[in-house]
Structure 1
Amino acid sequence: MAEILKVNDLPVSFEVSINGKVLSGAIEIISLSVSLEVNRIASANLKISDGGAFGLENEPFSNSASSDFIPGNEITISLGYGDDRKTVFKGVIIAQRMIVRRNTSFLQVSCKDKSFKLTKSRSNTVMSDAKDDDLFSKLVSDAGLSAEIESTKKFNYPLFQYNTSDWDYIVIRAEANNLFVTTDENKVKIKAFNLSENPKFTIQADVSALEVDLEINGENTYSEFNFTSWNPKNQVTTKVSANMVDPATFGNLTAQKIAGNLAVPSLNKFTSAPLSADELNAFSKSWISKSSLTKIQGKIIIAGTSQLKPGELVGLKSFGERYEGNAFISKIEQEFSEGDWKTTVFVGLNPRWHSTLNDVEEVGALGLLPATKGSQIAKVKKIHQDPDGEYRVLIELGAFQNTSNSNELWARIAFNYASDQAGFFFFPEIGDEVLVTFINGDPRFPVITGSIYSSKQKPKFETDAENTKKAIHTKSGLAIIFNDKDKIFTIKTPGGNTVILDDKEKQVSVKDMNSNEAILNKDGIKLSSPKNIVLDAKGKISLKAVSGIEMAASGGDLEGKGLNVSLEAQVAMKAAGNASAEFSAAGQTTLKGAMVMIN
């Protein structure tokens, strides 16, 4: 059974240690405050009496000048009653501030948990075959901190931290896995929401509550959650749906009841990324947890206690049936001033996601100048004589054409394939309309990502419903044409030279501007020419056929020459002349046979 928190009648006591040494009692601490919050870095502030009016002698600002409050010193703050004190903050001093007013002067000391180092630098990290908790452990360990980390599921793609702080990455991925992050005494804790556990302590309104401000708000409650991603393997969407689950352990109205009463539509999230159903399920659980915890939010101020921590549940009793039950603690504030110690307990959860904070992403163009967003339209002015020899194209941005200043920029081109002495070599024409983006949003570094057709600059062909034709056409008329409907591939020149690979007619044809033609089809190979056909080989030419070889010259002579001419018939050989026939030799002539018949 949960212990009811009670007011302690003993006097409040506190202790502050710097680098392990208890601060001198001669130093007057006017007030101190501590803040511990889910998904935030723990912090503390001290207000210390120091100095006087300017011009006083005897070192009026001795505390600010001492070695105690130098940034980097370790600090521990304990609060309690009588001699029983517990640590409420441990961290480092990050700043001191001197404030002098008409009737007072003091030193303000700001402190943070050592985990603040996780927020100070942006990093790029890729981990293959790892889980989120693996990277959490690495990032926390690299910062020299200890951690208590819940195990996460493994998804089938690398972990990728891009240009963001370690802290932002940890919190964003923790939220995506239905986890939350706390920092306490220089230790990072990453835990799962457990809203069904029994609280250790109970706040009873008529026993320890000093002030109460609680609100039921259904604006961010949903009955149903739908998440959709793209599955490239199956070329369909992956959809995960989940319903609100709120057991009403806090108040007597469930989140689903409130959402239903308000007729809040279902939450729908879409992405074209190939996220698995496992990750979408984990994300849906995060949304359910956050949505249910926004149902009741507020704060309760009680007599000071160090027993409550953010991320835990606390029982609320005697607050009325709408507000009783087990509440999730999202933040604890400790305030000590003039001998009085109060603890503010914040319950419920802000619906804000860490990924929506303004400074999570690096400012565009690295903050060197105002960044560009999206793509721009430009016209090509020049494609050669890049002054830097980087094969860039001179462009003119359309959005700047109404200005008096020159807006020409040299832009790189994103080719499909570009390699050393290899790749595509297709530069746009002068006057072409192109689409331009900018590297890291920096307007000084444009890249042409493509060319654009329009009603003024039309393509060579018109589109059809079946998208049957693709082509490459140059300005001079050189063309490569793909006809997907008839399965015809054509290469042609403006002078009439063509090569056609035709699956419809089942043939290949080559024809030049002089009507010379070669046709290859099921009937064989046909060579035709309005003039001569010459076969010229430095070696030999062999003609072979199974059915026969025919040679005919309808309008001229048939001639054959060689050092030696040899004709051999396997069965019979006949040579005949309709008018005359002659066999002669400058030397000996021989006719042989089993029988030789002349006339």
Structure 2
Amino acid sequence: MKEREIPVKATYNVATFDILIDGQEIDPGYQVMSISIVKEVNKIPVARIIFKDGDASEETFPISENENFIPGKSINIKLGRDSENQQMFKGVIVKHGIRAKENGETELILDCKDEAVRMTIGRHSRYFENSTDSEITEELITRYPALTPDVEATSYTHDEMVQHHCTDWDFMMMRAESNGKLVTVDDGTVQVNAPDTSADAALAVLFGSTLIDFEAEMDASHQWASVEAKSWDYAGQSLFEDSTDSIDINEPGNVPGEELASAIGPEQFELRHTGQAIGEELQAWTKSFLQRSRLSKIQGRAKFIGFGELKPGQLIELQGMGARFTGKAFVSAVRQDIYNGSWYTQAQFGLKPTCYAREYMDINDLGAGGLLPLIKGLQIGKVVQLENDPEGENRILVRLPIIDNAAPGIWARVATLDAGENRGSFFLPELEDEVIVGFLNDDPRDAVILGMLNSSAKPAPITAEDTNNEKGFVTRCGMRLHFNDDTKTITIDTPAGNSIKLDEADSSITVEDQNGNVTKLDSSGIEMESATDIKIKATGKIDIEAGAALSITAAQMSISAQSSMEVKGATTKLTADGITEVKGSIVNIN
């Protein structure tokens, strides 16, 4: 059934209103030129009141000088007809301005915002553990005493979630969007829930009857046939994948979003996250994107006489618009205007197709903190100097050719394998080596060397192979620590030929010097070979013990003791091919 009247009680569209500051009505003698109130999903409600103010003869703006209108004062705006007014806006004055026009008109302009504006002021960083997004959202909202949360529950529990240097509002918005939720604010109540397009329409408007002004458009450029998301599962070393090709959304008009998607859209809209976002998160993500796509299919606005019952998040029934646009549409914003004594309402329907992060580019803070122009990405550097850091901070001097190839460069810290007080790894690049340089907070003054680079001009000491068996470290003079996973060997050697080799295949350890001296430990025992002499010296005792035989062979052998010497055995045999002498001051035999 077509609705040919807006359901209001008054016969004439003559507006009445009340404005209360800190709970008190303003002077009825003040002349209000206009009132505008805008409430929109995913935005803070705003209101603007324009007063006729300013006295040129007295050279003053008397209403502006009233203490009631300074920023920070609470304000309530009620609209209606025949003095039957209902609250349309509750918030706080945030801006107070005056204006004089060429035609002589002078005005006081008050800009007001809902108390939720406090969530947009100041950046914060926090950790959240073992919490769902709905729990996190409630915690954010309840930080502000003037706000009341009304948050639809989400199911997935995050082991950890991080808010990094952003406003509570931006963080809440992005987490809501990732779950397919919309945020609507109404007089201090922050509601976060999924859109309901199956509800009854809050109002019906009819072309040719109740509509004063109207426009609508159908756009295929942001309609997706399906949405696919992928992320990396480092535990399983595989991809998490999820896709959504249908969403429970009732659309106005007779051309479904799926049909429009086939016109110019891709077969599949792709979302990628290189971190670990598991299946349940990906599922909510894909549904959120497809939901936004369908809700953005038809966008427009409808203007009619003032109606205070319509809210963002509700549905409006479009009648008499033709087959392409007739039907129930999702209301994304409502604007209430009073001017020239009349009250008008404009309903905006359909969502913008762009996601929140693309619409607001100031979510993240400025690079380099806004202190100077930032430097993006990694940069190539050439090492200029290793010593004499003027600040004594263990930095090295690096020239960035792309900035100035003739200048000395900047002092940069060096990221290393381990670093601490009087400990850690210590490997510095050589002068004129090529290094990769990053910058803390994108500040070109805070450089960090992340690593060194090889190239055809400065080739690596080991030739790369797909088998990747060889790894190691080689110093400037050729000292080498070499690993081979194929032969299962570790070798430490110097250019002159001094080496230690651990060989798992031969079950051996071999120590060899440049003079030809070799010590080898293997399954046969320990073998020592000297090109010249072997000397063993100890300040204490030397014990030699053999489980079997001990054999000593020499061209000539001398054994001496400073005090006494004892040779003892179960049997003892002393033989010689020549003369055998036994001498002593006393010789006892048996």
Query: Equivalents in 1 of 2:566, 2:532: separation in Å?
Result: 30
How far has the Cα of 1:314 moved from its partner?
2.4
Are the equivalent residues in 2 in contact too, given 1:148–1:189 (CA < 8 A)?
yes
Structure 1 residue corresponding to 2:224, chosen from 212, 222, 225: 222
Contact 1:16 1:23 in 2 (8 A): yes
Instruction: Check if 1:583 corresponds to 2:582.
Output: yes
For residues 76 and 15 of structure 1, do their structure 2 counterparts lie closer, same or farther at Cα, with a shift above 3 Å needed? same
Query: Given residue 186 of structure 1, which amino acid in structure 2 is its aligned partner?
Result: G
Alignment of 1:3-22 (within 5 A): 5-6=6-7, 8-10=10-12, 11-22=14-25
Which digits, 9 at most, give the CA deviation of each residue in 1:51-83, with x for residues without a partner?
A: 24x4x12x6521111122111111111111213
> SS at 1:62's partner residue?
coil
List aligned pairs for 1:42-441, cutoff 5 A.
Answer: 42-52=45-55, 54=56, 56-57=57-58, 60-103=60-103, 104-144=105-145, 145-245=147-247, 247-262=249-264, 264-356=266-358, 357-402=360-405, 406=407, 408-441=409-442
Segment drifting more, 145-154 vs 269-278: 145-154
SS at match of 1:400: coil
SS where residue 173 of structure 1 aligns? helix
Is the 8 Å Cα contact of residues 2 and 200 (structure 1) preserved in structure 2? no
Match of 1:574 in 2: 573
Deviates more, 1:9-18 or 1:525-534: 9-18
Partner of 2:362, secondary structure, is coil
Name 1:594's counterpart in structure 2. Answer: none
Counterparts in 2 of 1:122 and 1:263: CA distance versus 1, 3 Å: closer
Q: State whether residues 197 and 250 of structure 2, in contact with CA within 8 Å, keep that contact through their aligned partners in structure 1.
A: no
Q: Is the 8 A contact 2:132 2:158 kept in 1?
A: no
TM-score normalised according to structure 2 size: 0.95
Amino acid at match of 2:204: T
CA distance in 2, matches of 1:386, 1:134: 50
Deviates more, 1:242-251 or 1:575-584: 242-251
Deviations along 1:460-497, one digit per CA (max 9) or x if unpaired, are 12111211111111112222111122111011122321
Percent identity between the two aligned chains: 30
Q: Deviations over 1:403-435 (max 9, x none)?
A: 6xx352111111121111111111111111111
> Contact (CA 8 Å) 1:12, 1:81: kept in 2 or not?
yes
Task: Encode CA deviations 1:535-585: one digit per residue, 9 max, x unaligned.
Answer: 2223322222233111111x3235354643333333x43221112323332
Q: Distance in 2 between matches of 1:372 and 1:232?
A: 31
Q: CA deviation at 1:533?
A: 1.4
1:400/1:407 contact within 8 Å kept: no
Q: Does 1:27 align with 2:30?
A: yes
The aligned residue for residue 446 of structure 1 is: 447
Structure 2 counterpart of 1:541: 542
Rounded to whole Å, the distance in 1 between the matches of 2:193 and 2:505 is 66
Q: Distance in 2 between matches of 1:43 and 1:408?
A: 51
Secondary structure of the equivalent of 2:69? coil
Q: Do the aligned residues in 1 keep the contact of 2:249 with 2:294 (CA within 8 Å)?
A: no
Aligned to 2:43: 40
Q: Does 1:467 align with 2:504?
A: no
Deviation at 1:240, TM superposition (A): 0.7
Gap runs ≥5 in structure 2: none
Deviations 1:361-414 (A, max 9, x none): 1111111111111111111111111111100101111113356xx352111111
Residues paired across the two proteins, number: 584
| AA aligned opposite 2:64 | S
Shift of 1:438: 1.2
Task: Give CA deviations for 1:162-211 in whole Å, capped at 9, x if unaligned.
Answer: 11111111111110111111221122221122222333433343442222
| Contact map agreement 1:245 1:256 (CA 8 A) in 2 | no
CA separation in 1, counterparts of 2:362 and 2:569? 95
What SS class does the counterpart of residue 67 from structure 2 fall into?
coil
- How far, CA to CA, are the matches of 1:398 and 1:221 in structure 2? 46
Q: Could you tell me which residue of structure 2 aligns to residue 597 of structure 1?
A: none
- How far, CA to CA, are the matches of 1:407 and 1:43 in structure 2? 54
- One-letter amino acid of the structure 2 residue matched with residue 355 of structure 1: A
Residue type of the partner of 2:393?
E
Aligned to 2:564: 564
Equivalent residue number for residue 596 of structure 1: none
SS at match of 2:64: helix
Deviation at 1:510, TM superposition (A): 0.4
Q: Work out the CA distance in 1 between the residues paired with 2:250 and 2:20.
A: 43
1:225-248 CA deviation, whole Å, 9 max, x = no partner? Answer: 110000001111111111132554
- Please give the secondary structure, in 2, of the residue aligned with 1:65: coil
Q: Which residue of 2 aligns with 1:503?
A: 504
Task: Report the 3-state secondary structure (helix = DSSP H, G, I; strand = E; otherwise coil) of the residue aligned with 2:294.
Answer: helix
Q: Which moved more, 1:238-247 or 1:122-131?
A: 238-247
Contact 1:246 1:256 in 2 (8 A): no
Per the alignment, in what secondary structure is the counterpart of residue 428 of structure 2?
coil
Q: Which amino acid aligns with 1:67?
A: E
130-139 or 481-490, which deviates more: 130-139
Give me the CA root mean square deviation: 1.9
Please state whether the residue corresponding to 1:25 is helix, strand or coil.
coil
Asked if structure 2 preserves the Cα contact closer than 8 Å seen for 1:2 and 1:198, the reply is no
- Post-superposition Cα deviations, 1:6-64, rounded to whole Å, max 9, x if no partner, equal 35414321111111111222101011101101111100011110124x4x12x652111
Shift of 1:149: 1.4
CA distance in 1, matches of 2:454, 2:583: 76
CA–CA distance in structure 2, aligned partners of residues 281 and 224 of structure 1 = 12
Q: How far apart are the structure 2 equivalents of 1:114 and 1:486?
A: 71
Residue 134 of structure 1 aligns to a residue whose secondary structure is helix
- Contact 1:155–1:278 under 8 Å retained in 2: no
- 2:318 is paired with a residue whose SS is strand
What letter corresponds to residue 88 of structure 1 in structure 2?
M
Q: Which amino acid aligns with 1:573?
A: T
Residue 220 of structure 2 contacts residue 265 of structure 2 at CA under 8 Å; is this kept in 1? no
Alignment partner of 2:131: what SS?
coil
The farther-off stretch of 522-531 and 262-271 is 262-271
Mapped to 2, the partners of 1:315 and 1:45 lie a distance apart of 28
Letter in 2 for 1:585: G
Distance 2:181 2:479 in 1: 61
Task: List alignment gaps of at least 5 residues for structure 1.
Answer: 592-599
TM-score by length of 1: 0.93
